[in-house]
C-alpha cells in the first residue's frame, strides 16, 4: 500500500499532514486530495501482480497504507450491451450493500479505524447510509445516519439491521447535512459527508482504474455518470491523472458526462449557463433519490472536469428514467437503480444530438441495484 505524502486542497493547493484526521481545507473549505509518491510504482500494473485481489484492493499500491475493512467491494463487471455496439455497462449494483457507495465508505471507514475514531456520521440520500452502516458494523464503530424520511425502504431497513443509529429527517439531504454539522462537535462524530473528507474519493477512484484495466489499459471515448454529489466522477478523473503519472496510460481522456434528474439538476443548469459553480436547486423532487442533491459540495470540481474533458451535462425526466429501468431489465437482464438508468437516457439523447457517435466506445454507469428501490419501482 502507498504511504501518503500529504493532503492537497483542490482550491488553493494548500498542503496538510495526513498524520491526523482532516476534513476540508481550513483556509477556503476546499475538498482535499490524497497525494502519494508514485515514482516507485511506475510500470507495475495490478494485473501483473501475482495474487491480485478480485476487489478494489487489487489497487492497494495506490491506496492509503491501512488494514482494509472490506466486504469484497469493487472489481464489478463491465458488461457489453446486448443491444448497442460499443456500449459497456459498469454494473456497480453488484457491490456489497448494492451500490457504488461501498467503495468510498470501505476506504473511509478503513482510515477512520486506523485513526482510532469511534463515532462516524453521515447525511445521506440512502445508499451511502447503508454502506456506512455495514462497514461500521464490520469495523466495530458507531454509525450515526441522517436520511430524508422518504428514502427507499431498503435503505432504512438495512441501516437498522446493521445496528446504526438512524434519524429520519423531514427534508432533503441538505437538511440532514445541517443537523450533522450542528451536532458533530458536541456528539464527538467524525463527519463523512460527501467530499468533506479526503478518503471516499480514494475508494471511488478505483472505478477509473477498473475501467482502464477491463479495457486492456485503454480508456473509453466517453463515460456517462449519474451525478448527485459527484464523488465518483471526481475520483475517476483523479485516477486517470495518477495512471498517466504511473505510465499505465497516456494523455488520452474520456469525455466525462454528468446526467442528473430533471427535478434536481443544479450541475446541468450551471453548465448550460456557463457558471463555475451551481446554485441551490429549490424544491428538488425525483424518483432517483441519489440524484436529489440540491447543491453538490464540490460543484466547482465537477464543472471543471466537464470542461477539461470536453464533456457535457444533461438531465432525464422521471418518466424517462423509469422507462429506462424497465428497458434495461427486460432487454439487458440488468435491474438498474433509477440513478443508473438515467445514463441510458443520456446516451440516447447524446447520440441523437450528434454529441456522441454510435462508433464511439462509451461506458454507462449503473450505480446501484434496482432491488434497493422495490417500493419506488412498484409505485411507479
Which pLDDT does position 49 carry in this prediction? 64
The C-alpha atoms of residue 370 and residue 316 are separated, in whole angstroms, by 17
- Select from 19, 84, 11, 97 the least CA-distant residue to 371: 97
Tell me the C-alpha distance between 165 and 365, whole Å. Answer: 31
Segment 31-57, tens digit of pLDDT: 999 999 988 777 678 765 666 788 999
Contact indicator for 167, 156 with CB cutoff of 8 Å: no
Backbone torsions φ then ψ of 144, nearest 5 degrees: -115, 115
pTM of the model: 0.95
Question: Residue 47: its pLDDT value, please?
Answer: 63
pLDDT of residue 44: 73
Between CA 128 and CA 368 the distance in angstroms is: 11
Could you tell me where the DSSP H helices lie in the chain? 101-115, 127-139, 153-161, 173-187, 199-204, 206-214, 231-246, 266-272, 299-309, 318-327, 338-353, 374-379
Q: What is the pLDDT of residue 116?
A: 97
Which residues contact residue 7 at a Cβ distance below 8 angstroms, ignoring those fewer than 6 apart? 15, 16, 17, 18, 22, 32, 33, 34, 35, 198
C-alpha distances in Å from residue 168, one per residue of 122, 146, 165, 176, 250? 12, 6, 10, 9, 46
| Cα 300 → chain centroid | 16
3-state secondary structure of 332: helix
- Cell numbers for 202: 480514494
Q: CA-CA distance, 133 to 119, in Å (whole number)?
A: 11
Q: Which residues does the chain have with pLDDT short of 70?
A: 43, 47-51
Amino acid at each position: 500500500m502507498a504511504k501518503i505524502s500529504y493532503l492537497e486542497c483542490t482550491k488553493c493547493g494548500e498542503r496538510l499532514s495526513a498524520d491526523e484526521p482532516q476534513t476540508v481545507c481550513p483556509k477556503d473549505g476546499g475538498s482535499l486530495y490524497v497525494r502519494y509518491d508514485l515514482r516507485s510504482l511506475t510500470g507495475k500494473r495490478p494485473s501483473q501482480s501475482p495474487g491480485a485481489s478480485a476487489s478494489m484492493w487489487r489497487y492497494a499500491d495506490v491506496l492509503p497504507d491501512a488494514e482494509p475493512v472490506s466486504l469484497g467491494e469493487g472489481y464489478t463487471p463491465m458488461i457489453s450491451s446486448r443491444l448497442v455496439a460499443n456500449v459497456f455497462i459498469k454494473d456497480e449494483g453488484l457491490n456489497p450493500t448494492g451500490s457504488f457507495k461501498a467503495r468510498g465508505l470501505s476506504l473511509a471507514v478503513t482510515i477512520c479505524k486506523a485513526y482510532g475514531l469511534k463515532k462516524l456520521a453521515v447525511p445521506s440520500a440512502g445508499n451511502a447510509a447503508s454502506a456506512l452502516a455495514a462497514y461500521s458494523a464490520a469495523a466495530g464503530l458507531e454509525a450515526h445516519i441522517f436520511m430524508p424520511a422518504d428514502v427507499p425502504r431498503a435503505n432504512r431497513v438495512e441501516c437498522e439491521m446493521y445496528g446504526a443509529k438512524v434519524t429520519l429527517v423531514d427534508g432533503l439531504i441538505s437538511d440532514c447535512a445541517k443537523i450533522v454539522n450542528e451536532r458533530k462537535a458536541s456528539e464527538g462524530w467524525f463527519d463523512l459527508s460527501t467530499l468533506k473528507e479526503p478518503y471516499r474519493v480514494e475508494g471511488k477512484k478505483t472505478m477509473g482504474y477498473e475501467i482502464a484495466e477491463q479495457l486492456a489499459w485503454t480508456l473509453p471515448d466517453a463515460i456517462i455518470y449519474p451525478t448527485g454529489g459527484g464523488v465518483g466522477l471526481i475520483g475517476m478523473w483523479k485516477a486517470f491523472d495518477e495512471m498517466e503519472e504511473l505510465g499505465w496510460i497516456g494523455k488520452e481522456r474520456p469525455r466525462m458526462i454528468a446526467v442528473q434528474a430533471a427535478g434536481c439538476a443544479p450541475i446541468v443548469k450551471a453548465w448550460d449557463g456557463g457558471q463555475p459553480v451551481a446554485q441551490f436547486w429549490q424544491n428538488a423532487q425525483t424518483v432517483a433519490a441519489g440524484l436529489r442533491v440540491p447543491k453538490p459540495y464540490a460543484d466547482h470540481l465537477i464543472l471543471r472536469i466537464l470542461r477539461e474533458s470536453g464533456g457535457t451535462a444533461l438531465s432525464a425526466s422521471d418518466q424517462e428514467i423509469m422507462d429506462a429501468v424497465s428497458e434495461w431489465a427486460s432487454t439487458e437482464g440488468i435491474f438498474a437503480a433509477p440513478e443508473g438508468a438515467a445514463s441510458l437516457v443520456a446516451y440516447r439523447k447524446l447520440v441523437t444530438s450528434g454529441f456522441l457517435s454510435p462508433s464511439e466506445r462509451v461506458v454507462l454507469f449503473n450505480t446501484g441495484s434496482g432491488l434497493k428501490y422495490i417500493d419506488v419501482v412498484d409505485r411507479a
